[in-house]
Amino acid sequence: MRRRIPWRKRLLVRLLFTSVLIALCSVAATAWLAVTTTTSALEEEQGQDLAADNRILAELSGYAADHPDWSGVQHTVRALAAKTGRRVALTTADRTLIADSASHDTPLPPRPAAAVDPLHTDTYTEFGAQLSGIDPRAVGPFRLTGPEREKLDAVAKREQECFDHLGVRSTVQHTPSGRPHVAVDEARDAPLYLQVKCGDAFGESTAEMRDVLDSPTATETKALDALTDLARPCLRARDMDLGGPLSLTYDTTGRDPVSGGFLVTKKGAEQNTDQTAKNCVTSARRTQLEPYVAPAAELFLGIGDQTAPRFDMSRANKARIVGAAGLVLAVTVAVTAVVAMRLVRPLRALTAAAQQPPELHVRAPVRTRDETGLLAEAFNDLTERRERLEEQRKAMVSDIAHELRSPLTNIRGWLEVTRDGLVAPDPALLGSLHEEALVLQRIIDDLQDLAAADAGTLRVHREPVRAADLVDQAAAAHRVAADAAGVALLTDTDGTAWLDADPVRMRQALGNLVSNAIRHTPADGTVTLAARHDGDDVVLTVTDTGPGISADDLPHVFERFWRAEKSRSRRTGGSGLGLPIVRHLLAAHDGTAEAHSEPGKGAEFTLRLPAAPAPADVS
């Protein structure tokens, strides 16, 4: 009786339930993520602190101006985040993360707050503005060496002391490159009359003191020469000529530490000539400073660890979410139902085929090439093997009955006629009955060997054996039978070939092959036993000059009870168990048995076994 599967355990129901559960979780997670992201975005836009953002941008621009790369910026980013309470993240133009104050898996804001590029953005000269010039902190090759700075600091210190002696308040300030200057009352430079007085008071002329402070050092001269070479092609392309090298200049903001100096134009009447020259110098400065500053980066600013207010959705938004969730669920259920039916249909067909009576050997239809199709093919292969095994079992029972019936019938018939006194129990009769008993014993022994091989209990007792000895012993055992049949029995051996084998079992295997060869070889024919090395193997062959085996029969020679003579005559055929026993004996020795034949040219049976080294006591 066909057993019904409960609904809760059916594959279709399980698939539907799983898909609905996954869809619900997906919709819920998507809705929660959308609400959370929207709330965070709104809070971020509403809670931005512009002053803190500008401070972050200015400090990161200064870091970029003072470092050739961003490799050490993580510490600065975390310090800024801790100071401002904001999330600070830097990425390259393609959004590759450089540094981030948040955890690694925190998503970036949708848009960058600003670009950090000291060669195209000046956030230092005018706080809060993002000018399009070069950040003055990007000095690159203009940075003074230690000895140069000490020399200039000493001169500036003397000038400050002079001003202090004259009662004028002054301070020594430094440009980003390290060059000092004396500022009086917030002015960029001291008045000329004070400089003259200080020169007289310290025994130095004003020109000498100012020459030290205003003249380029060796480092600056080298950088100015390189800058001049970079600016010259641009000036020439615009019909301008550089009458001399660029020079240093200062202003109160420090925004333009390098000027065009001594620029002379052939079109001096034009108003834009000065600006054109400045553009050429600025472009050259960017080229010169590029190796000394960090590459351009994008700055992302978040709300840090502050708690965002909850976002209350309207009824319309809630209705949209519910509608979208319902649509997703409906599509999921429909698709799952279609897929589940396609999965269940071949399984049901396979179940129906498996529930049929075993004697029918029903096959399952194969309609797909997926896993279920492969399962159906495997089921059909199993059914075919079971059908073949059943046929072999029936044939084996019939063959055994046939093989046992003939000798038993002969023994019974002679015993009955002897009992009735029709025949006297003379030695000839007893010899015939004894021969029939030996046939029965041989069949039973062969069946016992095959049963042991099938059960895995066939035991072999290995020992070093010379292959030539096995061949000679098998030939000697069948010499009388060969002579009686008029068949020449020859041997061809290699005395160096050794085996690790059971000599009794190997003689049994060779004996079966030799007896078959003699039986199928006509008078004046030849049977040859050979043993030779073949690489790491030893090959034993039994070759005859009989009629051979047809190509159709050759694949079946090692099957049980198979004989080429369909009439099953004992005159030319044995029990049909000898060759199967040979195959099992070779398998027990890790070897193989093969047959080769051409009709009319005889047959050759080859036994291949692993070679073994000769014993140490054998020379």
pLDDT of residue 607: 92
Of 457, 484, 516, the domain-final residue: 457
Q: Verify that 468 and 567 share a domain, yes or no.
A: yes
Least confident of 264-268, 347-351, 409-413: 264-268
Asked if residue 598 and residue 475 are part of one domain, the reply reads yes
* Domain match, 523 and 580 both: yes
Q: Residue 510 falls within a domain, yes or no?
A: yes
DSSP secondary structure code for residue 556 in this structure: G
Could you report the per-residue pLDDT of 388-397, keeping only the tens digit for each?
777 767 766 7
Note whether 599 and 493 are same-domain residues.
yes
Query: Are 595 and 505 members of one domain?
Result: yes
Residue 158 within any structural domain of the chain = yes
In a domain, 261, yes or no: no
Same domain, 439 and 332: no
Between 423 and 274, name the one with better pLDDT.
Answer: 423
pLDDT tens sequence across 301-314: 877 544 444 445 56
Is pLDDT of 203 > 70? Answer: no
pLDDT at 8: 63
The verdict on 446 and 472 lying in the same domain is no
Q: Which of 405, 436, 457 is the last residue of a domain?
A: 457
**pLDDT score for 618:** 67
Take residue 381 and report the two structure tokens written for it.
Answer: 């292969």
CATH label of the domain that carries residue 450: 1.10.287.130
pLDDT in tens, 109-144: 888 888 888 888 777 666 666 677 788 888 889 889
Query: What is the pLDDT confidence band of residue 439, given thresholds at 50, 70 and 90?
Result: low
3-class DSSP assignment, residue 300? strand
Residue 145 DSSP symbol: P
Hey, how many other C-beta atoms are within 10 angstroms of the C-beta on 226? 15
In a domain, 314, yes or no: yes
Domains held by the chain: number: 4
The residue among 191, 214, 237 that closes a domain is 214
pLDDT for 564: 58
Top mean-pLDDT range of 56-60, 189-193, 556-560: 56-60
**Per-residue pLDDT averaged across 450-457, rounded?**
68
Specify the pLDDT at position 306.
Answer: 45
Per the domain annotation, does 304 fall within a domain? Answer: no
Tell me, yes or no, whether 588 and 529 share the same domain: yes
Residues 578 and 476 in one domain: yes
Q: Structure tokens of 383?
A: 């059914």
* 71/57 Cα distance (integer angstroms): 18
User: Would you say residue 429 lies in a domain?
Assistant: yes
User: Tokens 């008029």 label which residue?
Assistant: 486
Q: Which of 166, 173, 154 is nearest to 200 (CA)?
A: 166
Lowest mean pLDDT among 89-103, 162-176, 244-258, 555-569: 244-258
* Residue 424 shares a structural domain with residue 366: yes
Q: Is the pLDDT of residue 3 over 70?
A: no
What percentage of the chain exceeds 70 in pLDDT?
73
Q: Domain span at residue 16?
A: 7-44+310-352
Extract long-range pairs of 40-45: CB within 8 Å, 24+ residues apart: 40/303, 40/308, 41/109, 41/110, 42/311, 43/303, 43/306, 43/308, 43/309, 44/109, 44/302, 44/303
CATH number of domain containing 531: 3.30.565.10
Q: Quote the pLDDT of residue 334.
A: 78
pLDDT in tens, 242-255: 566 676 665 444 44
Q: Are residues 151 and 189 in the same domain?
A: yes
Mean pLDDT of the chain: 76
Residue 569 maps to a domain: yes
Going along 74-169, which residue ranges are E strands? 87-91, 97-100, 114-116
**pLDDT for res 606:** 92
Which of 237-251, 253-267, 420-434, 605-619 tops mean pLDDT?
605-619
Q: Let me know whether 475 and 597 are in one domain.
A: yes
Would you say residue 508 lies in a domain? yes
What mean pLDDT comes out for the span 49-64?
81
pLDDT surpassing 50 at residue 266:
no
The pairing of beta strand 526-534 with beta strand 488-493: parallel
| CA max distance for the chain | 170
pLDDT tens-digit map of 483-510: 988 999 999 888 788 998 888 888 888 8
Instruction: Enumerate residues 6+ apart whose C-beta is below 8 A from 216.
Output: 224, 247, 248
